[in-house]
């Protein structure tokens, strides 16, 4: 079952029992301004950037600062294992060290671009550092057959790679900062139970629409029937 909620994750977690989820895969704000304001290459505001490979995103302020330490404490309380993207920006707020960092290489070396060549995720697993190579900057999303609806959107392929390596059949997955809904598509395709939430109503609506359009398409293989649940657990 895919549950998509438009709410504050802290409100959700405070009423969630300890270790209710098998795995949290989250991409919280990094506090670096990647919210549609930082660069015109993320937000079309002139003809200079009128390029089909560039997506217009609304200007907002959700990436002004990373979550407080209490967020990470709660995340670790409600889930047995965690994968936290962008942790290199707020590692001092995560309670303990990890040998298993995950590296996503998304861009070739380009010193003239302010996009990072890689993104890093901290994890609670005791395995070695792992590496995922998948081009995403520039025309990467278009080449992967995805339309970007969020300035920090991650590819569905990344979430499928994570789930195939760090989740087990029957695991309950949590995403507290849902963004574009890529993980919902990945969980749907691989048959995982997911609770997903996004605070911003516009991004929530766009992600739900994206998920519904994907889920309505015939697929070669669906592990088990999935249904989307919005808000108050609609049937």
Q: Which residues contact 209 (CB under 8 A, 6 or more apart)?
A: none
Give residue-wise pLDDT tens across range 85-139.
988 888 999 988 998 999 999 876 555 556 678 999 999 999 999 999 998 766 5
Contact status, residue 203 vs residue 173, Cβ threshold 8 Å: no
Which residue is associated with the tokens 């003809």? 47
Give the C-alpha distances (Å, rounded to integers) separating 36 from 44, 88, 102, 185. Answer: 9, 21, 26, 23
Confidence of residue 149 (pLDDT cuts 50, 70, 90): confident
Residue 233 burial class via C-beta count within 10 angstroms: exposed 0-12, middle 13-18, buried 19 and up: exposed
Q: Which of 41, 93, 42 is nearest to 65 (CA)?
A: 93
Domains and CATH numbers, the chain: 2-230 (3.40.50.150)
């Amino acid at each position: 079952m895919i549950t998509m909620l438009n709410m504050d994750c802290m409100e959700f977690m405070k009423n969630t029992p300890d270790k209710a989820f098998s795995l949290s895969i989250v991409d919280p704000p990094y506090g670096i301004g990647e919210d549609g304001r930082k660069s015109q290459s993320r937000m079309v505001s002139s003809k200079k950037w009128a390029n089909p490979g560039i997506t217009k995103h609304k200007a907002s302020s959700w990436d002004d600062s990373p979550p407080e330490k209490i967020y990470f404490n709660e995340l670790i309380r409600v889930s047995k294992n965690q994968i936290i993207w962008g942790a290199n920006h707020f590692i001092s707020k995560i309670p303990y060290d990890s040998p298993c960092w995950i590296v996503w290489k998304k861009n070739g070396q380009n010193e003239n671009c302010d996009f990072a060549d890689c993104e890093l995720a901290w994890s609670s697993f005791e395995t070695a550092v792992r590496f995922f190579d998948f081009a995403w900057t520039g025309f990467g999303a278009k080449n992967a057959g995805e339309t970007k609806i969020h300035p920090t959107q991650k590819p569905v392929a990344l979430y499928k790679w994570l789930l195939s390596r760090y989740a087990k059949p029957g695991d309950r997955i949590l995403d507290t900062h849902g963004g574009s809904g890529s993980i919902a598509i990945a969980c749907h395709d691989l048959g995982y139970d997911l609770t997903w939430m996004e605070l911003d109503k516009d991004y929530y609506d766009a992600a739900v629409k994206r998920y519904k359009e994907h889920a309505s398409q015939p697929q070669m293989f669906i592990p088990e029937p999935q249904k989307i649940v919005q808000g108050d657990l609609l049937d």
